[in-house]
Chain A
Amino acid sequence: MMNYFPDEVLEHVFDFITCHKDRNSVSLVCKSWHRIERYSRRRVFIGNCYSISPERLIARFPGVKSLTLKGKPHFADFNLVPYDWGGFVYPWIKVLAETGIGLEELRLKRMVVSDESLELISKTFVNFQSLVLVSCDGFSADGLAAIAANCRFLRELDLQENEVDDHRGHWLSCFPESCTSLVSLNFACLKGEVNLGALERLVSRSPNLKSLRLNRSVPLDTLQKLLMRAPQLVDLGIGSYVHDPSSEASNKLKHAIQRCKSIMSLSGFLEVAPRCMSAIYPICGNLTTLNLSYAPGIHGNKLTKLIQHCRKLQRLWILDCIGDKGLGVVASTCKELQELRVFPSDPFGAGNDAVTEEGLVLVSAGCPKLNSLLYFCQQMTNAALITVAKNCPNFIRFRLCILDPVRPDPVTNQPLDEGFGAIVQSCKRLKRLSLSGLLTDQVFLYIGMYAEQLEMLSIAFAADSDKGMLYVLNGCKKLRKLEIRDCPFGNAALLEDVGKYETMRSLWMSSCEVTLGGCKTVAEMMPSLNVEIINESDQTEFNLDDGQKVDKMYLYRTLVGHRKDAPESVWILGDLTRSEHHEPSLNDMIQDMKLKNVSGDDDFIIWESNNFKLQGNFSVYGYNPFIFFFHPVVGLGVVASSCKELQELRVFPSAVFGAGNDVVTEEGLIRR
């Protein structure tokens, strides 16, 4: 029916579909929807930068304006991945630049971003507006200076938790006088000084500035001046907050803060004197987000008093020095709370101030809307988890980290299987789960049985046998990311269902029982996976014995074969022919299959043939018996063997896949 609408109408309809998954589904309906969706797609999300190449991205989505890329595996955050593992953004920028793409937004997470990349971005994409870097490294203030100086329409520069070499603080001065478009500026993670005068002038000429997060070097009097110039701020990150409450400077600050009636998000306090917090109280009533997780200077009474003013909080990030009692204050004050993160204030020590299960139970009882949790604690009990599960059945993210990774329930001395089992059984919408504490195979049985929506699972120091991993792989149909460390899972678990890994983004296993031989087997059986072995030991030659246990293995699905930028410490398994693998062109395939090209078109070729050559296995997915999407690398064996009545076959060129939620039609392709 929809085929009778002109393309423009469909395009307009598709504009309302913004979610990646939905757009991916839209593109699978039929050829014309595929084409229209493809040309009208502006935002692309690539969860693993090595699953696809920039060339193929552009071939499929020539109109892309906003790109999100993620690089290193999650455990890189915890120093488990060598610094030079990969995730370089430069090759992407280079290709985008060369192909004339009008890139406007770039969001990167755990990638290596060189100054060269930033410079290239700033000089190539004339309409570049938004740069968001999360947990990235490889750049310095020079790269930031290039962005500031050259991006004439810059709206957003958001640096979150990056390791930046910023010994030169000049970058802020590089924003030209003509730059008045800033909406969001976050440089809280920079350690160095900035030009305060330049900062004040920049804020003065940015009437649209809504979000401003400062670093430690910005002193109080500058903060006061900035607030006077930007009372329209919605999100504020305070750098240094030390003042004498009885001083004139403090009064001026109070006045400035009170003028900012729109502030809903507050963070920072990287340096703070607790006595000064009362100046903040006037704006606390409007806060929906409060992040004090970098402010160990605020604790005890001062902290709880502050929280008592924040009745509208929806998101709270805090340190564990808040204590169980403090969490009780949160529970009785913040009835709208949806997300809570409690970080350890002393990650290296015994954490005498840390919270326990009591605090969590209090919050679960007082905050019924709680749906996202990250909780570092001294201990947890099954009883507490069962209570929490009953109080809060709406968890989407539940991440519990007991500081001693194998601690049992201190009251009963039992493993925490029953507690986590209650969580997965009660929280039917759970998408992300991190486990800790003493755990046996039993908890994984529960997870496999009940966690139907689970997409990401993190396991450490748990389980007794391969059964644990098998319960999860067999049960969790929507699993996308599985990361495991220090568990007794071996080849039997790894090899039970290798096809499953094609339905997932990635699998990480470190300090487990899998061997080199097991990993090689996966690589040989599954050409669509890259199986990487990370070996950081001092041995000059990695022991080639297949029986050798592998220290770290990271495997992920990909459409572009082995990457070429891996360092020496990373081995990509698979036979040599596959590592030089390239996709045969359509012409190659046509020759092979003795098909006649009946009609050529930009988008498709219609073939007629009596002759099919069987080649290997692959998966077929089709909405319509006359339209097939399949991976061009593999043959048509299944089509030939199953579609005996086939009269018409339409084959789409190798650009037929997406870079959607991971890779789009590849997901459809692989679906069994």
Chain B
Amino acid sequence: MAFEKDFNLDATELRLGLPGTSEESEKQASTTLRISNKRAMTDMNEDSSVAADKKCDQETAPPTKAQVVGWPPIRSYRKNSLQTKKTEAETCGMYVKVSMDGAPYLRKIDLKMYKGYPELLKALEDMFKFKVGKYSEREGYNGSEFVPTYEDKDGDLMLVGDVPWGMFINSCKRLRIMKGSEARGLRCVV
């Protein structure tokens, strides 16, 4: 039994939290407990041990953070005006212009209507009566003279499909379907 003391069992113990956080995570747990008791907090998890676990795990942003009254300490005026901007962006739909090289006029689509790239590309194909090639990260779109591109927030021309869908719809300002030699030029860039 004596030799058990020589084993650093704590170091190998499986638990949530960063290594070497035994005291600190307890302190955080007690801090969390204190927070949980505050009447000002809404929707706080009453189960203190679950809340403590949440606090110990540094990787996840604690979901209750957003519901603390008066935190972060920003003037209501400022909070309200940022909130207005977000709501405006969210409720109006994300309409972007779509142009196709050679087409007489542009179209507009609501990016929010699509769940991902396959749906978007299908909608574009239907709208403009063309077919895109097969997408690969290495070569872009292969097998068609049409290539879907978009202009992002910084004004740069980007290939559709490289970034995650969520990031794409937040940064896409307009779509452009390139055609012919210009499009092939893009494909050649490896």
Q: Which residues of A contact B (CB under 8 A)?
A: 75, 77-80, 135, 161-163, 189, 270, 274-275, 293-294, 296, 299-302, 343-350, 376, 401, 403-406, 408, 410, 413-415, 434, 438, 440, 458, 460-461, 485-486, 488, 510-511, 537, 551
Contacts and interface: CB of A to CB of B under 8 A. Distances in A.
Interface stretch (B74-82, B90-98, B99-107, B126-134): B74-82
B153 A413 contact: no
Contacts of A347: 72, 74, 79, 82
Nearest to A458: B73
A413 B24 contact: yes
Contacts of A485: 70
B36 to A, nearest CB: 11
B75 A78 contact: yes
Contacts, number: 106
Contacts of A405: 65, 68, 71-72
A301 B65 CA distance: 31
B24 A414 contact: yes
Contact of A78 (B38, B55, B65, B71): B71
A349 B66 contact: yes
Contacts of B83: 348
A107 B39 CA distance: 36
A173 B70 CA distance: 38
B38 to A, nearest CB: 5
A296 B69 contact: no
A296 B38 contact: no
B18 A403 contact: no
Nearest to A293: B78
Interface stretch (B4-12, B27-35, B117-125, B157-165): B27-35
Nearest to B156: A301
Nearest to B39: A551
Given A348-B66, A401-B72, A408-B24, 10 more contacts: A79-B76, A270-B81, A294-B78, A300-B154, A302-B154, A343-B74, A343-B78, A404-B65, A413-B20, A551-B40
Contacts of A75: 70
B180 interface: no
Contact of A376 (B20, B72, B76, B153): B72
Nearest to A352: B61
A348 B65 CA distance: 8
Given A294-B81, A486-B35, A401 B61 contact: no
Given A302-B154, A438-B31, A511 B82 contact: no
B85 interface: yes
B75 A161 contact: yes
B153 A274 contact: yes
Nearest to B153: A300
Contacts of B28: 406, 408, 438
